[in-house]
Amino acid sequence: MGGFLQAHGQRPGVTQRPLLAGAIAGFAATGPALALLYGLGSLELEIHMLALSLALTLAAGWAVMAIAGAVYARLFGRTANDARGGWLFGMAYGFALWAVGAVLILPLASGGLAPAGSLAVALFLSLLLWGCCLGGLLPFVQRPLHANLEYVARRSEAGPEAAATGSSPPRPQRR
């Protein structure tokens, strides 16, 4: 997979804002995932397991998934901006979140309680749906967030001053 990621160029360009775009896309992707959790009855289980109110559980969920979206955009870099394959990378990331979050962190946060049966499947499906939506939305969220080239040229790590002083970020080496 590393070779595929390198084919796209891993580092985001100086005009891109991957953390902001990832947070917005992660926040937006939480809506369909919560709808699925609610429809399949797992949302009540999470509220019970975490011993929080509905409002606090939803607020924490939106915030955590926005942060997870920012981590996704930073982790996958330019590859996350692929409009044709981003949904697949997002689903893989959603699976990883399920493996870490629902299987490891949720039982730790709830005093040893873990979802089982159809409720666990619903949690799994909601994270896959979240990842699919995240990966599908990110390229379209990223486009309007690109910084103006004139603004970027005034920053110290880009523009004519960086070229003159040699302080530009290191370029990836070709093999």
The token duo for 131 is: 């990842």
The token duo for 76 is: 């996958």
Determine, yes or no, domain membership for 160: no
Determine, yes or no, domain membership for 24: yes
Instruction: Say if CB 49 and CB 115 are below 8 A apart.
Output: yes
Per-state percent for the chain, helix, strand, coil, to nearest 5: 75, 0, 25
Q: What is the pLDDT of residue 56?
A: 92
Average pLDDT in the chain: 78
Determine, yes or no, domain membership for 101: yes
Sequence-separated contacts (24+) of 80-86 with Cβ below 8 Å: 80/18, 80/22, 80/135, 80/138, 80/139, 81/12, 81/16, 81/138, 81/139, 81/142, 82/8, 82/139, 83/139, 83/140, 85/135, 86/135, 86/136, 86/138, 86/139
Determine, yes or no, domain membership for 103: yes
What pTM does this model have?
0.71
Domain range for 66 is 16-155
Determine, yes or no, domain membership for 48: yes
Determine, yes or no, domain membership for 163: no
Instruction: Say if CB 126 and CB 94 are below 8 A apart.
Output: no
Tens digits of residue pLDDT in 90-114: 999 999 999 888 778 878 877 887 7
Number of domains in the chain: 1
Determine, yes or no, domain membership for 34: yes
DSSP single-letter state for residue 112: S
CA 123 to chain centre: 17
Determine, yes or no, domain membership for 173: no
Write phi, then psi, for 158 (nearest 5 degrees).
Answer: -145, 170
Tens digits of residue pLDDT in 7-48: 545 555 544 678 888 999 999 999 999 999 899 888 888 787
